[in-house]
Amino acid sequence: MNEGLLFVLSAPSGCGKTTLLRQVMERLSGLSFSVSHTTRQPRTGEVNGRDYHFVSLEEFKAVRDCQPSGFLEWAEVHGNCYGTSRQEVDSRLAAGMDVILDIDVQGAEQVRRNAQPVTIFIAPPSLTELERRLRGRGTESEESLRRRLANAAKEMESAPAYTYLIINDRLEQAALELSSIIIAERCRKRRTA
Protein backbone atom coordinates (compact mmCIF):
# COMPACT_ATOMS: atom_id res chain seq x y z
CA MET A 1 0.00 0.00 0.00
CA ASN A 2 1.29 3.47 -0.88
CA GLU A 3 1.74 6.03 1.85
CA GLY A 4 -0.68 8.96 1.75
CA LEU A 5 0.12 12.59 0.95
CA LEU A 6 0.47 15.25 3.62
CA PHE A 7 -1.23 18.58 2.88
CA VAL A 8 -0.63 21.67 5.02
CA LEU A 9 -3.28 24.36 4.82
CA SER A 10 -2.65 27.75 6.46
CA ALA A 11 -4.63 30.96 6.51
CA PRO A 12 -5.15 33.95 8.75
CA SER A 13 -8.03 33.56 11.19
CA GLY A 14 -11.33 34.41 9.51
CA CYS A 15 -10.34 33.47 5.94
CA GLY A 16 -12.93 30.70 5.78
CA LYS A 17 -10.57 27.73 5.67
CA THR A 18 -12.81 25.57 7.89
CA THR A 19 -15.80 26.07 5.58
CA LEU A 20 -13.57 25.54 2.56
CA LEU A 21 -12.15 22.31 3.97
CA ARG A 22 -15.61 20.94 4.74
CA GLN A 23 -16.71 21.48 1.14
CA VAL A 24 -13.60 19.84 -0.29
CA MET A 25 -13.78 16.86 2.06
CA GLU A 26 -17.38 16.26 0.95
CA ARG A 27 -16.23 16.23 -2.71
CA LEU A 28 -13.11 14.08 -2.46
CA SER A 29 -12.68 10.65 -0.92
CA GLY A 30 -9.52 9.41 0.75
CA LEU A 31 -8.93 12.60 2.74
CA SER A 32 -8.42 12.62 6.47
CA PHE A 33 -8.56 15.78 8.55
CA SER A 34 -6.09 15.83 11.41
CA VAL A 35 -7.83 17.15 14.51
CA SER A 36 -5.48 19.46 16.40
CA HIS A 37 -5.10 19.72 20.15
CA THR A 38 -5.77 23.15 21.66
CA THR A 39 -5.87 24.82 25.04
CA ARG A 40 -8.48 27.37 23.92
CA GLN A 41 -12.10 27.10 24.98
CA PRO A 42 -14.59 25.64 22.49
CA ARG A 43 -16.70 28.08 20.47
CA THR A 44 -20.44 27.59 20.21
CA GLY A 45 -21.18 24.48 18.15
CA GLU A 46 -17.64 23.05 18.31
CA VAL A 47 -17.39 19.41 19.36
CA ASN A 48 -14.45 17.90 21.25
CA GLY A 49 -12.71 15.33 19.04
CA ARG A 50 -14.33 16.61 15.84
CA ASP A 51 -13.24 20.25 15.66
CA TYR A 52 -10.35 20.08 18.15
CA HIS A 53 -9.14 18.00 21.03
CA PHE A 54 -9.78 20.55 23.79
CA VAL A 55 -7.20 19.98 26.53
CA SER A 56 -5.81 21.78 29.56
CA LEU A 57 -2.42 23.48 29.38
CA GLU A 58 -0.97 20.69 31.56
CA GLU A 59 -2.31 17.98 29.21
CA PHE A 60 -0.94 19.87 26.22
CA LYS A 61 2.52 20.16 27.76
CA ALA A 62 2.55 16.44 28.62
CA VAL A 63 1.98 15.49 24.95
CA ARG A 64 4.37 18.18 23.68
CA ASP A 65 7.17 16.94 25.93
CA CYS A 66 6.68 13.27 24.94
CA GLN A 67 9.30 13.24 22.15
CA PRO A 68 9.76 11.95 19.54
CA SER A 69 6.13 10.77 19.51
CA GLY A 70 4.48 13.98 20.77
CA PHE A 71 3.49 16.75 18.40
CA LEU A 72 4.54 16.95 14.75
CA GLU A 73 4.20 20.70 15.22
CA TRP A 74 2.92 23.03 17.88
CA ALA A 75 2.63 26.75 18.45
CA GLU A 76 1.18 29.36 20.72
CA VAL A 77 -1.27 31.52 18.77
CA HIS A 78 -3.46 34.32 20.13
CA GLY A 79 -2.57 33.24 23.68
CA ASN A 80 -3.56 29.58 23.21
CA CYS A 81 -1.54 26.48 22.33
CA TYR A 82 -2.26 24.33 19.27
CA GLY A 83 -0.56 21.10 18.24
CA THR A 84 -0.79 18.20 15.77
CA SER A 85 -0.36 14.64 17.02
CA ARG A 86 2.57 13.00 15.22
CA GLN A 87 1.20 9.51 15.95
CA GLU A 88 -2.23 10.34 14.48
CA VAL A 89 -0.72 11.75 11.27
CA ASP A 90 1.85 8.98 10.81
CA SER A 91 -0.69 6.17 11.28
CA ARG A 92 -3.10 7.69 8.73
CA LEU A 93 -0.36 8.29 6.17
CA ALA A 94 0.90 4.72 6.64
CA ALA A 95 -2.66 3.46 6.01
CA GLY A 96 -2.63 5.25 2.64
CA MET A 97 -4.88 8.13 3.66
CA ASP A 98 -4.10 11.66 2.51
CA VAL A 99 -3.96 13.90 5.57
CA ILE A 100 -4.82 17.60 5.71
CA LEU A 101 -3.38 19.73 8.49
CA ASP A 102 -5.12 23.04 9.20
CA ILE A 103 -2.27 24.87 10.95
CA ASP A 104 -0.77 28.33 11.26
CA VAL A 105 2.39 29.55 9.54
CA GLN A 106 4.57 28.71 12.56
CA GLY A 107 3.37 25.12 12.54
CA ALA A 108 3.74 24.86 8.76
CA GLU A 109 7.41 25.82 9.05
CA GLN A 110 7.96 23.10 11.67
CA VAL A 111 6.27 20.49 9.44
CA ARG A 112 8.44 21.55 6.47
CA ARG A 113 11.53 20.79 8.57
CA ASN A 114 10.26 17.31 9.48
CA ALA A 115 8.37 16.17 6.37
CA GLN A 116 7.71 17.01 2.72
CA PRO A 117 4.16 18.35 2.74
CA VAL A 118 2.21 19.99 -0.05
CA THR A 119 1.69 23.50 1.34
CA ILE A 120 -1.33 25.67 0.51
CA PHE A 121 -1.93 29.22 1.75
CA ILE A 122 -5.49 30.58 1.83
CA ALA A 123 -5.65 34.37 1.68
CA PRO A 124 -8.55 36.78 2.03
CA PRO A 125 -9.34 39.07 -0.91
CA SER A 126 -8.15 41.98 1.29
CA LEU A 127 -7.50 42.84 4.92
CA THR A 128 -10.63 45.02 4.84
CA GLU A 129 -12.71 41.99 3.84
CA LEU A 130 -11.01 39.91 6.51
CA GLU A 131 -11.95 42.49 9.15
CA ARG A 132 -15.56 42.41 7.91
CA ARG A 133 -15.63 38.59 8.21
CA LEU A 134 -14.11 38.61 11.70
CA ARG A 135 -16.57 41.24 12.91
CA GLY A 136 -19.40 39.22 11.36
CA ARG A 137 -18.51 36.19 13.50
CA GLY A 138 -19.24 38.24 16.60
CA THR A 139 -16.81 36.19 18.70
CA GLU A 140 -14.02 38.73 19.18
CA SER A 141 -13.48 41.62 21.54
CA GLU A 142 -12.11 44.78 19.93
CA GLU A 143 -8.67 44.03 21.39
CA SER A 144 -8.75 40.45 20.12
CA LEU A 145 -9.90 41.65 16.70
CA ARG A 146 -7.00 44.12 16.43
CA ARG A 147 -4.55 41.39 17.45
CA ARG A 148 -5.96 38.95 14.87
CA LEU A 149 -5.77 41.57 12.09
CA ALA A 150 -2.18 42.45 13.00
CA ASN A 151 -1.29 38.74 13.02
CA ALA A 152 -3.07 38.27 9.68
CA ALA A 153 -0.99 40.99 8.05
CA LYS A 154 2.17 39.31 9.35
CA GLU A 155 1.01 35.83 8.28
CA MET A 156 0.30 37.11 4.76
CA GLU A 157 4.03 37.82 4.44
CA SER A 158 4.60 34.02 4.66
CA ALA A 159 2.43 33.22 1.62
CA PRO A 160 5.41 33.07 -0.84
CA ALA A 161 6.88 30.16 1.17
CA TYR A 162 3.89 27.96 0.25
CA THR A 163 3.62 25.83 -2.87
CA TYR A 164 0.12 27.09 -3.70
CA LEU A 165 -1.92 30.24 -3.02
CA ILE A 166 -5.71 30.40 -3.09
CA ILE A 167 -7.60 33.69 -2.68
CA ASN A 168 -10.85 32.89 -0.90
CA ASP A 169 -13.01 35.55 -2.51
CA ARG A 170 -15.77 33.23 -3.74
CA LEU A 171 -16.13 30.03 -1.74
CA GLU A 172 -17.17 27.83 -4.68
CA GLN A 173 -14.16 28.90 -6.75
CA ALA A 174 -11.76 28.46 -3.82
CA ALA A 175 -13.16 24.96 -3.15
CA LEU A 176 -12.68 24.05 -6.81
CA GLU A 177 -9.08 25.29 -6.70
CA LEU A 178 -8.27 23.36 -3.51
CA SER A 179 -9.87 20.18 -4.90
CA SER A 180 -7.87 20.60 -8.11
CA ILE A 181 -4.60 20.94 -6.19
CA ILE A 182 -5.27 17.74 -4.25
CA ILE A 183 -6.21 15.82 -7.41
CA ALA A 184 -3.14 17.12 -9.27
CA GLU A 185 -0.81 16.15 -6.42
CA ARG A 186 -2.33 12.67 -6.32
CA CYS A 187 -1.73 12.30 -10.07
CA ARG A 188 1.85 13.56 -9.71
CA LYS A 189 2.51 11.06 -6.92
CA ARG A 190 1.17 8.19 -9.05
CA ARG A 191 3.41 9.27 -11.92
CA THR A 192 6.54 9.32 -9.73
CA ALA A 193 5.70 6.29 -7.57
The lowest-confidence range among 88-97, 105-114, 143-152, 168-177 is 143-152
pLDDT in tens, 142-165: 888 888 888 889 999 999 999 999
Strand-strand pairing, 37-38 and 53-54: parallel
Give pLDDT, residue 122.
96
Nearest Cα to 184, choosing from 98, 105, 112, 125?
98
Work out the average pLDDT over 76-91.
Answer: 90
Domains in the chain, please, with CATH? 6-192 (3.40.50.300)
Helix (H) or strand (E) holding 172: helix 171-192
Mean pLDDT in the chain?
90
The pTM score is 0.87
* pLDDT single digits (tens) 37-59: 999 999 889 999 998 999 999 99
Closest to 24 in 3D by CA, of 178, 184, 189, 181: 178
Position 193 confidence tier, pLDDT thresholds 50, 70, 90: low
Q: How far apart are CA 17 and CA 33, in angstroms?
A: 12
